[in-house]
Amino acid sequence: MGFTSAESDSEVRSTDQHPWWKEATVYQIYPASFNDSNDDGIGDIPGITQKLDYIQSLGVDVIWVCPMYDSPQVDMGYDISDYEAVYPPYGTVQDMEVLIHEVHSRGMKIILDLVVNHTSDQHAWFKESRSSKTNPKRDWYIWKPAEYDNDGSRKPPNNWRSIFGGSVWEWDELTQEYYLHLFCPEQPDINWENEEARKTIYQSAMISWLDKGVDGFRIDTVNMYSKPVGLPDAPIKDPTAQWQDAGLVYCNGPRMDEYLGEMNSILSRYNAMSVGECPFTPDPARILGYVSEKEARLNMVFQFDSVDVGIGSAHRYMTTPFNYTLADVKSAIRRTQGLIDGTDAWTTSFIENHDQPRSISRFGNDSPQWRSRSGKMLAVLFASLSGTLFVYQGQEIGMINIPKEWPIEEYKDVDTIGYYAEVVRKNPNDTKAHDQTKAALQHLARDHARTPMQWSSQTNAGFTSESATPWMRANTSAQEGINVADETNDHASVLNFWRQMLKLRKTHAEVLIHGIFKLIDDDNPSVFSFIKTSPDTQSKAIVICNFSDKESKLPTIDGLSSSNMLIDNVSEAGTKDQSTLQPWEARLYIST
């Protein structure tokens, strides 16, 4: 099938029927790992600008740039010390202004990360807050006095476990109180109950960038701002642990709707897009309350049902690789797609981001034999789901996880390092526990998304010069054909397949982007099939994906005809037995 890239030279506009962000495809960029323009081994803002023509050629409409603000980089920029400055190795505010202009000149839009549940402990606000109990900014963060055991030992106010391990409470010697940090000790939580703090956040973190032309925000941990009254203990899930997972306790607090309403009143003045990160929210009714159009809070959220498939229940990494069934994947997607059925809400489609491993390694097969085909299968699946589609850098070329031969020392993420160290500390001589943890990290760690973008097969994958030392080692799969240069010239590459798929998604938006999802052949253990029905036309789409290394029988579904099969990821599709699905085959049928 011949194809061209999507009409990416036409500006992303709202239509009478739909706001601009509904039919957009968003391309996520992790600045440290995308493209290094000055050979210091760290990606940067000018490096992004250099690659805008490539990004445009994919057929995407919006770029999302992960935090590029000034930061001590304890958590790769999610610990912000100044919302109005840029981290110097990434560039300057002027570099950002050039990037915004160049994105807009190509008819695309740009959104930034908004990280306002917490700041860095190096932010001027927190330095003031911790300077004394009487400082005017003391109440901008969450400070509590110690509690004491019967024997007089000091202890934190509750049993919450930090997302990165240990207690959420850090003792401050100077003022003799604890402060709350749901993430690292270097990421103190802002007290959103303080109206002055909220107003200052809105001005510094939002309005200052909207006035520079930014088109919206991906809002980090959007449901953590309002803490539960009294900060009660979490239920004990792990009796062996001192600190307990408390996500279901501290998320979705009583004033969340109020705070999101305030933020939306600013965003709506700019016709800006908002997408919230919504962890620990299994209740669809709560999600609906955030994204219902009439409630005017958020345009959409990321629900984590799909990317949480197979993770450990007590902790993400307390699991084994591939600890899930296809039925788990089906039910996760059915839940998130069902959000728009009969409602005024909107949803998202994604399977990769900076916090997730590579999808081919996790849900496909990253062996040389099947990595390309299973990557294309995942492209068909997620580009056929309703909602705004998000594609993470490298996903479009089929990047895979870090090789298993790499030692744990190659992993750089604070989450990975902290968790592995905790396991070793608790089990110093238990090599089996160490090996199980390594296996889980090799499957699920955030590091897999953070290796440098693979532009070519050169040393360092073309991310930086061959003589430079990248901040994180480039994946050796760049020398195995997984890179932009090789794939650009290969008609059958994952890259060119994604371009084709994104064009089809735009052409058939009424059914692929807006259609109502219905799972079919539920009990099939290896084949994922579903129907999409347009709410406004007679269009129907049928998507069939074989999640297996073996051939599978094509399900019996009304409306399957080779004449309306728009795309297939098996090159000999026209000549093979139509009733048999090849390993990792995906087909998309559309009838109008």
Q: pLDDT band at 9, cuts 50/70/90? A: very low
Question: What are the pLDDT digits (tens) for 528-558?
Answer: 999 999 998 889 999 999 999 999 999 998 8
pLDDT for 402 equals 98
Cα 313 to the chain's mean position, in Å? Answer: 20
pLDDT at residue 16 greater than cutoff 60: no
Give pLDDT tens digits for 140-185: 999 999 999 999 999 999 999 999 999 999 999 999 999 999 999 9
pLDDT in tens, 190-227: 999 999 999 999 999 999 999 999 999 999 999 999 99
Per-residue pLDDT tens digits for 379-389:
999 999 999 99
- Catalytic annotation on 220? yes
Question: Does the pLDDT of residue 3 top 50, yes or no?
Answer: no
Active site (annotated) includes residue 258: no
pTM of the model: 0.95
- Which residue is associated with the tokens 């190096």? 122
Per-residue pLDDT for 188 more than 50?
A: yes
Say what the pLDDT of residue 11 is: 56
d(CA 161, CA 307): 21
Regarding beta strands 565-568 and 552-553, do their DSSP bridges make them parallel or antiparallel, or are they unpaired?
unpaired
- Residue 94: name the closest of 102, 86, 82, 103 by CA: 86
With beta carbons less than 8 A apart as the criterion, state whether 272 and 325 touch: no
Q: What is the pLDDT of residue 180?
A: 99
With CA atoms as reference, report the closest residue to 257 among 288, 218, 229, 303. Answer: 288
Residue 184 and residue 73 in contact, taking contact as beta carbons nearer than 8 Å: no
**How far apart (Å, rounded) are the C-alpha atoms in residues 564 and 559?**
9
Rounded to an integer, the average pLDDT of 351-359 is 98
Strand-strand pairing, 516-520 and 147-148: unpaired
Window from 419-423, 549-553, 573-577 with minimum mean pLDDT? 573-577
**DSSP characters over 550-562:** S-EEPP--TT--G
- pLDDT on residue 14: 55
Given the residues 75, 277, 305, 352, select the one marked as catalytic: 277
**How far, CA to CA in Å, does 327 sit from each of 323, 331, 339, 590?**
12, 6, 19, 24
pLDDT value at 1 more than 50: no
Domains and CATH numbers, the chain: 25-116+195-496 (3.20.20.80), 124-180 (3.90.400.10), 515-591 (2.60.40.1180)
Task: Grade residue 415 by pLDDT with cuts at 50, 70 and 90.
Answer: very high
Average pLDDT over residues 477-504: 98
pLDDT above 70 covers a percentage of the chain that reads 96
pLDDT at residue 66 tops 80: yes
Would you say the C-alpha torsion 124, 126, 127, 131 has a positive or negative sign? positive
Q: Looking at 95, 113, 189, 220, which residue is catalytic?
A: 220
What pLDDT does 576 receive? Answer: 59
> Angle at Cα 73 formed by Cα 131 and Cα 453, nearest 5°?
165
- In 427-560, which residue ranges form alpha helices assigned H by DSSP? 431-444, 484-488, 494-507, 509-512
Range 405-415 average pLDDT: 96
The pLDDT of 577-587, averaged and rounded, is 92
Which residue did the predictor score with more confidence, 453 or 11?
453
More confident residue, 559 or 65: 65
